[in-house]
Chain A
Amino acid sequence: MSSKVPISHLRELESESIFVIREVVAQFENPVMLFSGGKDSIVMYHLARKAFYPAKVPFPLMHIDTGHNFQETLDFRDWLVKETGAQLIVRYVQDSIDKGRVVEETGYNASRNKLQTVTLLDAIEELKVDCAMGGGRRDEEKARAKERFFSHRDEFGQWDPKNQRPELWNLFNGKKNLGEHFRVFPISNWTEMDVWQYILLENIALPSLYFSHEREVFERDGVLYAKTSFLKMKETEVAEKRIVRFRTIGDATCTGAIESRATSVEDIIREVAATRITERGGRADDKRSEAAMEDRKIEGYF
C-alpha cells in the first residue's frame, strides 16, 4: 500500500473503534461488553476479536435478558458464543421482578425495556464492573449525538449530560473514583449504513430476523409488531401473515417489523439507502416523548 493512498472510511472507523476497545482494556480492571444480539453489538464484538487476535477477547460479554427476546436472537447469541469461545454473563430482568427490585408495567403497551436499567445497574454493582462497553451510535438519536466515547457514570450509575468531560484528540480519560463506572461506546462514529457496509465487507453472520421472512404480525399506531406471547393484542387488532424483516432487534414488545423482500446484506444496503425513516422510527420505546432517550440514559440506560 502506498502511503499516499488514504484508507477507506470503513477502515478508518474500524481502526478508531479498535483503538477505543484496546484503551478500555488498558485503562479498566473489570470491563464487560454489553451484548444484545443486535447488529451493533455483533459488529462491536467482531471488532473486539480483531483487536486482540490471536489472543482471546479479554473480557466477557454481558446480556441483560428481558425475557421478551425473540428466540432467534437467543439462538444466535448461543451459537456465536460457542463458535468464538466467548465468555457470556446473563442477567435476567425476571429476577429483578421476582426480587421486587422493579415492578412490571401493565396494559397493552407494557414493555420491559425500561426495567432493564435496574437489572443492568445491579449487575454492574454485583460484578464490580468498572466499564461497560455498549454499541450505541451517535447517529441513532439526538441525545446520543452528545455522548462521549468514554462516558462517566456517578456512583448511582447516572449520566450528567450537561457536565460531560471534554474529549480531545484520541486521549481518553477513564479516571474515576471508587464505585463509579464508565460506559464506553466504541462505534460512536458509525452510521447505520456504515454498520451494514462493514457487515458486508467482513462477511459477519447475523440473526435470521434481519432478513426477509414470513411472520404473523399486527399493526398498532402505524407500527407492525410480531405476534408473540409477550405482547397482549387488543380485540380490534388482527394478526396476519406478511413478508417482513427487522431493522433493529430489541424486545418483541417494542421493535417494529418492516415489510421487506431483502434476503441478503446487499439487499438490505439498497433498502437502507432508499429509506426515509430512521431505524429507531419503528421503536415504541423512543416514541414515548421527545426526551425519552435522554431520560432513560440519565438513569443509566444503555
Chain B
Amino acid sequence: METVNTERSYLDMELLRFTTAGSVDDGKSTLIGRLLYDSKAIFQDQLEAIERASIKKGEEHINLALLTDGLRAEREQGITIDVAYRYFHTPKRKFIIADTPGHIQYTRNMVTGASTANAAIILVDARNGVIEQTIRHAYIASLLRIPHVIVCVNKMDLVEFKQEVFDAIQARFLEFSTHLDLHDVRFIPISALLGDNVVERSKNMEWYQGPTLMYLLENLYISNDYNQLDARFPVQYVIRPQSNEFHDYRGYAGRMASGSFRVGDRVKVLPSGFTTNIKGIDFWTDHLDSITAPQSGTILLEDDLDVSRGCMIIPADNGIKQGQDIELMICWLNEKNMIVGSKYALKHTTNDLRCMIKEVKYKVNINTLEKDYEDKTIRLNDIACITIRTTKPLFYDSYRQNRITGSLILVDEGTNITVGAGMIL
C-alpha cells in the first residue's frame, strides 16, 4: 500500500506541469500509463474498467491508452483527439500532464499543451532515431519556450539496450537543436513497456549513469521558470466594496505575471504612465509585505489614479515595450486560413482589443526548420512570422522575456473561435 503523506509534506509540495510529445506509436500512452501506475494514481475501478474494455476489443494486454482516451469517438477510432489532462503526485511534487495527441491537429494540440508547461518530454523510438516529427516537437518546445526538455529514447529493449544507439540519437538531436533556443535538454534511455529508467533504474543499461525520468521530474529546478526580474501586474478587476466598513477601499485585483512587488515600491501605471507607491498588498484578510508570480492578490496604491481592467502596474524605473505595430510568431489553430488584411479580435494579458494582419514575413517549415518566403498561405497548424497593427497601443515584453506579457491570442470575430496563438518577437 502507498505510504501516506503526512499533511505537512503534502502542503509543501511544488507543482510541475509537463507535456508529452512523440509520433504515433512511440509509446506516449504507455509511458504516461506507467508513470500513473507506478505512482499509484490509477485506481482499481479505473483499471478494471479499462481491463473490461480491452478484453471487449480483443486486445492482448491492458491498453493503458484507454485511460486517457476519454471521448467516445476516441475510443471507437482508437486515437486521441483532444488534449487530456492527467494528474499524479509523489511525496515531492504534484504533476499535471497535458497529454497531446498526434494526428491531424498535432501542432495545435502540442502548442496548447506547451503554453503552460514547465517541461516537455519528447519521445524518440530507438529504432527510428531522430525523425521529422522529433524536429517538429523540439521546434515547438523552443518556440513556446518550455524551460526544460527531456528527450526519452524509448523502446531500448528493441535495440538490445545498446549504448551506441542512444549515443547516436543524442548526438543527432544536439546537432540540429543548435539552431533552436533550448536551454536545458536531458537525454534518458528508457523502455516504457518494461519500466527501465522510468521509475526504477535499469539493470539492462549499466552504462547509463544519469537519473531516471521520475527522479528528473521530481528534481528539475523550476524556481527560475518564471521571469523574476521584471515585475508585471496586469489589472484584472477593480475591487470596490461600497460598504461602510471599507468605504474608501479601492483595490486592484490580479495575478502577478512575473517578478515581485513589495509594499512601498515606486510603480508606474500603464497606459497613463503616472507613478505612485504601493500602499498595501492584500490577499483575503491578510496584509502581505510582497507578492510574487504566480500569486494572485490585490494591490492598493497611494494615489487616486484612474486604474481599470487592462491596465498594467510595473516598476517606475523598469521599461516595457509599447506600440501598435507588432511582429510576432503565430501558430494558426483553425481550418479557415488566416487572411492578410483581415481584422481579428485580440486578447493580451487582461486587455481586449482588435488588430489587422498586415504582412506574412515568412512561414516556418517545421520539419526542416527552413524559412519559406514563397508560400505565404497560412493554414491550420502553420507557424509563421507576421506583423499586425493593433487598434490601440499594446504594452508588452517579448515572449522570450516573458511568457505572459509576450503572448496573445487572435479570435475570429464572426465565429468567436480562438484561431491564432501569438508569441511576440
Contacts and interface: CB of A to CB of B under 8 A. Distances in A.
Interface of A: 1, 3-16, 18-19, 22-23, 25-26, 49-56, 138-139, 141-146, 152, 161-162, 164-171, 173, 175-177, 188-189, 191, 193-194, 197, 200-201, 266, 269-270, 273-278, 281, 290-291, 294
A300 B192 CA distance: 38
Interface stretch (B85-93, B131-139, B146-154, B271-279): B85-93
B46 interface: yes
B86 A145 contact: yes
Contacts of B67: 142
B236 A7 contact: no
A269 B9 CA distance: 13
Contact of A173 (B12, B89, B411): B411
Contacts of A23: 236
A142 B68 contact: yes
Interface string B27-50: 000000000000000011110010
A25 B94 contact: no
Contact of B407 (A26, A168, A175): A168
Contacts of A26: 236-237, 309, 350
A194 B89 CA distance: 10
B63 interface: no
B296 A15 contact: yes
B70 A142 contact: yes
A169 B115 contact: yes
A205 to B, nearest CB: 16
Nearest to B40: A276
22 contacts: A4-B223, A7-B294, A8-B11, A9-B94, A15-B294, A53-B284, A54-B243, A138-B85, A143-B70, A146-B83, A168-B111, A169-B409, A170-B404, A175-B416, A188-B85, A191-B89, A194-B94, A266-B7, A274-B1, A276-B43, A291-B72, A294-B72
B94 to A, nearest CB: 4
Nearest to A188: B85
Interface of B: 1-2, 4-5, 7, 10-15, 43-46, 49, 53, 67-73, 75, 81-87, 89, 93-94, 96, 108, 111-112, 115-116, 222-223, 228, 236-237, 239-243, 245-246, 249, 253-255, 259-260, 282-285, 289-290, 292, 294-296, 309, 333, 345, 347-348, 350, 403-404, 407-409, 411, 416-418, 421
A5 B223 contact: yes
A290 to B, nearest CB: 7
A244 B99 CA distance: 37
**Across the A-B interface, the 6 shortest Cβ-Cβ residue pairs:** A142-B70, A9-B15, A175-B416, A55-B241, A281-B45, A276-B44
Contacts of B44: 276-277
Nearest to B310: A26
B295 A11 contact: yes
Given A8-B13, A166-B418, A276-B43, A52 B295 contact: no
Given A146-B83, A146-B84, A169-B116, 14 more contacts: A10-B11, A50-B283, A53-B239, A55-B249, A142-B69, A152-B416, A162-B82, A168-B111, A169-B115, A173-B409, A173-B416, A191-B94, A269-B10, A276-B43
Contacts of B348: 171
Given A6-B222, A7-B292, A278 B11 contact: no
A96 to B, nearest CB: 27
Given A8-B14, A278-B43, A171 B408 contact: yes
Nearest to B76: A291
A277 B223 contact: no
